[in-house]
Amino acid sequence: TQMNAALHSSEFAIEVARHEKEAALTALKYSAAHETEHVTEKVLIRAPVSGRILKILHESEGVVREGEALIEIGDPRALEVQVDVLSADAVQLKPGTPVLFDRWGGNTSLQGRVRSIEPAGFTKISALGVEEQRVLVISDIVSPPEEWTQLGDGYRVEASFILWEDDDVLQIPSSALFRTGKSWAVFVIKNKKAQLRTVQTGYRNGLSTNIVSGLSEGEIVISHPDNSIKDGSNVRPRGEKE
């Protein structure tokens, strides 16, 4: 009957459980005897790399699984810098691009070079709550290690990527530029009058713009010109009396 079948099944389960209990007790006794026998034995564990201990993952003794990490080891002289940049800026970077690292705690900027640009981006919410697409850029520090001995793993730095540089560059504040038709233009002060001048621009860094043609060194331009200024308007430097 079903009742007899259930009874036999229960008795079988009890018997299995009894055998499992006995096997577990036997294994426990063997383990305890083995540990007592070799209680003074020390096992040498060799690190896969040379370096310093960065993090201890197990502070106290205990059982660990095979392959489980115990500590994190790294070479402080082989630090890499991971920077997340806007995807629109990342497309202008390439391996070998120079980098300057600032605000890391030292008195001077550290030099570096881009090693790689991640092929996939990710979405990040800015401080203003705007969704931005960003890309991780990995760079190496090329300044001598003795200049940044106090810099460690997980420390914060600010990175400036150098897309272009030249020793002899004519530049003006970007705030002096405005659009006139399809060209860029500025107001130049000539004989106390505003003179409209179209210019050809080059590289920008946000604050300054390289002028390729249309201006000469030493000419004075008007920063933040408003709609009241026209070509030929009378102007004077701020603070100068009439």
Q: Which of 161, 195, 229 is the last residue of a domain?
A: 161
pLDDT score of 174: 94
Going from the C-alpha of 38 to that of each of 29, 34, 35, 162, the distances in angstroms are: 14, 6, 5, 61
Range of the domain at 122: 81-161
Q: Which of 105, 126, 161 is the last residue of a domain?
A: 161
Please check whether residues 188 and 146 belong to one and the same domain. no
Low pLDDT (below 70) residues in the chain: 1-12, 15-16, 19, 23, 26-41, 43, 239-242
Residue 186 belongs to some domain of the structure? yes
Q: How many domains does the chain have?
A: 2
Residue 7 within a domain: no
Whether residue 66 is contained in a domain is answered as no
Compute the radius of gyration of the chain from its Cα atoms: 35
Residue 43 lies in a domain: no
Which letter, b or e, does each residue of 168-203 get, where b requires 16 or more Cβ atoms within 10 Å of its Cβ? eebbbeeebbeeeeeebbbbbeeeeebbbbebebee
pLDDT at 240: 66
The domain boundary, picked from 139, 161, 183, lies at 161
CA–CA separation, 208 and 170 (whole Å): 10
Q: What is the dihedral of CA 202, 208, 214, 220, to 10 degrees?
A: -170
DSSP readout, 47-103?
-SS-SEEEEES--S-----TT---EEEE-GGG-EEEEEEEHHHHTT--TT-EEEEES
Q: Is residue 200 part of a domain?
A: yes
Residue 113 maps to a domain: yes
| Same domain membership, residue 147 and residue 99 | yes
The CATH number given to whatever domain includes residue 182 is 2.40.420.20
What sign results for the dihedral spanned by CA atoms 130, 98, 93, 214?
Answer: positive
Is 99 within 8 Å of 85 (Cβ atoms)? no
Q: Give yes or no: residues 179 and 206 share one domain.
A: yes
pLDDT of 1 reads: 46
Which CATH number is 126's domain given? 2.40.30
Residue 109 identity (one-letter amino acid):
S
Q: Are residues 117 and 133 in the same domain?
A: yes
H or E stretch covering 13: helix 2-37
Classify residue 99 by burial, with Cβ atoms within 10 Å: 0-12, 13-18, 19+: buried
151 within a domain of the structure (yes/no): yes
Residues 181, 238 share a domain: yes
Do 139 and 114 have their domain in common?
Answer: yes
Whether residue 150 sits in one domain with residue 180: no
Q: How far are the Cα atoms of 28, 172, 199, 231 from residue 182, in angstroms, in the given order? A: 84, 20, 11, 18
Domain annotation covers residue 70? no
102 and 123 housed in the same domain = yes
For 168-217, what is each residue's pLDDT tens digit? 889 999 999 999 999 999 999 998 899 999 999 998 887 899 999 999 99
**CB of 139 closer than 8 Å to CB of 93:** no
pLDDT at 122: 93
